[in-house]
Amino acid sequence: MKVSILETGKLPKNLENRFGDYPKMFSDLLDELNISHKIKNFDLINYDFPKNLDKTDLWLITGSSFGVYEKIVWISELKKLIQKIYKLKIPLVGICFGHQIIAEALGGKVEKSHKGWGVGVHKYERKLNPKWSEIVGDFFSGYVSHQDQVIMKPENAYRVYGSDFCPNSILCYDDIEKPIAVSIQSHPEFKKDCLEMIIQRRIGQTIPTNIGKSGLESLNEKIDNQKIFKPLLKALRVV
């Protein structure tokens, strides 16, 4: 499978040195799932944008510390790129920031949530029942680190999983059984130690201490990174 990654964020150097950058994390996840793949990376922050959109099996948009509503040139250009990919019906998956910017590009609304930060392990409930969700089941748990949320999904999107804290956790687009795009708020590519270091770095600064401590405690809970990611790819018919 040819995977083209639209890299929209950078982790701090000490985390990248230990866990790799986002493309490396997704490559590791695909290896864990025994999915043969070749990755081509586009560093959008440094304006490395693709010229040919159809020479890949899958487009993947990573997480980021930026907000999709920020008035930054590469973010505006990415929204236009998403619209082109969607119009061409090339499989597209978005993670965290990627999840949010697909929604924004296709008519939804993203804001900094009044509910505040979500960090640690969060659990989501199935709201709709496409066949590709059967392997996941009625619930899944994932690693999260976000304060922005999709507060209004696009008209062409289906809410497949959600929670009270984050109602639009997994969205799929155009067709619920055979979507053109799928997106997820949580981070299936993260490892426990990576998220722990992210929370510890921000706790008491950007993340309130009580929320950070609860998030750290939740990291002992079971998560479903492998269980959730492959069905998303199956929904897109790329595996």
Characterize the bridge pairing of strands 148-152 and 109-112: antiparallel
Task: Please give the backbone phi and psi of residue 69, each rounded to the nearest 5 degrees, phi first.
Answer: -90, -5
Cβ neighbours of 92 (radius 10 Å)? 24
For the chain, which domains are there? Answer: 2-235 (3.40.50.880)
What are the tokens at 85?
């990919």
Q: Residue 82 corresponds to which amino acid?
A: I
- Give the CA dihedral 201, 33, 66, 209, nearest 10 degrees: -30
What's the confidence (pLDDT) of residue 188? 97
pLDDT in tens, 51-94: 999 999 999 999 999 999 999 999 999 999 999 999 999 999 99
pLDDT of 226: 87
Residue 160 CB partners (closer than 8 Å, separation 6+): 126, 127, 128, 130, 133, 170, 171, 172, 176
**Upper half-sphere CA count for residue 204 (Cβ side, 13 Å):** 3
How many C-beta neighbours within 10 Å does residue 135 have?
Answer: 11
* Contact call for residues 171 and 159 (beta carbons, < 8 A): yes
DSSP class of residue 80?
H
Alpha-carbon gap, residue 116 to 119, rounded angstroms = 10
Question: String of b and e for 53-90 (b: at least 16 CB within 10 Å)?
Answer: eeebbbbbbbbbebbbeeeeebbeebeebbeebbeeeb
Phi, psi of 122 (to 5 degrees): -120, 150
pLDDT at res. 191? 96
**Averaged pLDDT in 10-residue chunks for the chain of 239 residues:** 97 94 97 97 97 95 97 98 98 98 98 96 98 96 98 98 98 97 98 96 95 97 94 97
